[in-house]
Amino acid sequence: MRTSVFYILCLVYLVMLPATVPAQDGCPGWTQWRGSTHHIGVCDLQPPDEMVLHWTVVADQQVQSSPVFFQDTVIMGSDDGRLYGIHRTTGEVMWRYTAGASIQATALIVDAMAYFGDLDGSFHCIELPSQPDGSPREVWTHSCGGSIISSAHMVEDFLVFGCSDGSIYCLDLDGDLVWNTLLGGDIWGSPLVDLDTNTAFLGTSWGHYYAVDLGSGAVLWDRDLGGDFLSSGCYHDGVIYIPNGVGRTLYALDAVDGSTVWDMYLGFESYSTPSYLDGRLYFSSYEYAWCVPADDPDGNGTMDTGDISWRAETHDFEGGSSPLVTNSRVFVGSQDGNLYCFERGSGALVWNYTTEGYVYSSPALWDGVVFFASTDGTMNAVGDRPARLSVELSVSVPEITSNGKTDVDVVVLDQFGQLVEGAGLVFEVSSGDLEGGFETDSNGEAHMIYSPLDVSSRSTISIAVTAVKDGMPNGTDVAFLVVEPAADTDESGVDLDMDRSGARRPYLTLLVIAVVFNLILTVALFRARRLVGGVVP
């Protein structure tokens, strides 16, 4: 009865625990490539100071897609043809959607819908599950004329994206074609969209850069700048910033007519999309991450290496990852398999996390954790040490009789080894009862008294405890003790009838008596046989 009452009290306690604190939003608008239609790539959340792996999810093939967020889910596509929904704190794969072809584009998330293309040329619209145990549902697909690596943006009630057939597409929200404009060459980058002027800007692998009217699909201007535009470019205050790949030049273009505001010969190929913050641009190229002024300091239309703010080695020979920039940090991937974290002001290396593949994926930040992927097939979460409880459970007397008692003590610590006050404790005891407090005190401790049930033979009892607090991952520990059948005991539960070896004196006495009795009986039988043997001839 006492055990049943204990379990009922534990159940009531669990029900009355405070609900998990709702997760804060991720970076504002980080539901699309680079966080906005201007591709600024800046997040104002606090970045992590440490590099601790929270979790890794392994896809069947390489991952080049970049992460976006929906509720508590991180969403990334893979070359295995699946779109993954991963719980941001646990790393549990909540769902998978199979598109049928590699997904390298970053999904656009709007109103619980995900929009993305695949390498077979299908553009997908799926409805995302609102419940943890739900599954995504395909709403529609639209077939295009080539592979879709370009990520989509929404303009009013229309979707725009590029395709390797050389066209920019505009679809309505039912998946019907509104217009498409053939520009020529492959289009890999995501269209840069200025909603104020209703204009899209994008380049092609033929070295041309275009402005397209989003209402009609008409080309507004075309610049032949050479190289190959795999970068998507970023937009700030009427200026487009974009490198031209093998042309090894970074351009600042006037968004009105495409004229050159300034250019800078890098000497290295770059396919990265720059980030803009506080008058500076951040991007990657072969071998380096860069920080340069967004305005030409000399005003002569040309910047040189003497004008750069800093340049940091990344050992990259692709220059394809686009950086995530915060108030104090710059995060960027590299072909050498690393995600690098640099000081924004100086370019000094803070830390790096190494994978076994190329990191083309551009990182995203949520609640002190950076999410990114690698061509080794991993999707990763790294950042500050995760909030986590740990528990130390101990019993004062490891062996007692069934009419004795023993002290049970619990200490709860956080991820930094600090004592945790007010942690709820839930016990599971294989036999017997616990009395005492079920919450840690100001010292992070709790004290209970364990009373076993009667046993008929030597038994091993387990006591397990789980600590719960403020939605932090639970901590658990288990202790074991031995219970002997009851005998005369003192108040501490120590058997007075046991010698130092643990043997019971009454049993020894009985054993000696039995041996002596058997010896006497044997001798008597032997003498009787001799007497009988003397009579018989």
- Taking residues 294-317, report their average pLDDT: 91
Query: Which tokens go with 239?
Result: 């200026």
Same domain for 425 and 281:
no
Please indicate, yes or no, if residue 422 is contained in any of the structural domains. yes
Among 14-18, 326-330, 339-343, 490-494, the least confident range: 14-18
**Band of the pLDDT at 114, cuts 50, 70, 90?**
very high
Same domain for 411 and 356:
no
Q: What is the pTM of this model?
A: 0.74
- Taking residues 282-296, report their average pLDDT: 96
pLDDT score, position 510: 56
pLDDT score, position 28: 58
| Cβ atoms of residues 360 and 339 within 8 Å | no
pLDDT score, position 498: 42
Does the pLDDT value for residue 2 go beyond 60?
no
Same domain for 364 and 442:
no
Q: Could you give the CA distance from residue 397 to residue 283 in angstroms, rounded to a whole number? A: 63
Same domain for 360 and 221:
yes
- Taking residues 70-88, report their average pLDDT: 96
Same domain for 369 and 452:
no
Query: Which tokens go with 503?
Result: 């043997």
Please indicate, yes or no, if residue 27 is contained in any of the structural domains. no
pLDDT score, position 3: 40
Does the pLDDT value for residue 490 go beyond 60?
no
**Band of the pLDDT at 141, cuts 50, 70, 90?**
very high
Q: Which domain holds residue 59?
A: 33-383
- Distances from the Cα of 277 to the Cα of 170, 208, 274, 328, 491, angstroms: 30, 27, 10, 11, 72
pLDDT score, position 514: 61
Please indicate, yes or no, if residue 222 is contained in any of the structural domains. yes
- Taking residues 139-143, report their average pLDDT: 98
- Taking residues 174-201, report their average pLDDT: 96
The label of the residue with tokens 């202790």 reads 479
Q: Report the CATH number that the domain containing residue 448 is assigned in CATH.
A: 2.60.40.10
Please indicate, yes or no, if residue 130 is contained in any of the structural domains. yes
| Cβ atoms of residues 162 and 187 within 8 Å | yes
Does the pLDDT value for residue 91 go beyond 80?
yes
Same domain for 47 and 138:
yes
pLDDT in tens, 318-375: 778 999 999 999 999 999 999 999 999 999 999 999 999 999 999 999 988 999 999 9
Please indicate, yes or no, if residue 59 is contained in any of the structural domains. yes
| Domain total of the chain | 3
3-state secondary structure labels for all residues of 297-339:
CCCCCEECHHHCCEEEECCCCCCCCCCEECCCEEEEECCCCEE
Same domain for 96 and 7:
no
Same domain for 177 and 80:
yes
Same domain for 531 and 395:
no
Residue type, 310: W
pLDDT score, position 509: 55
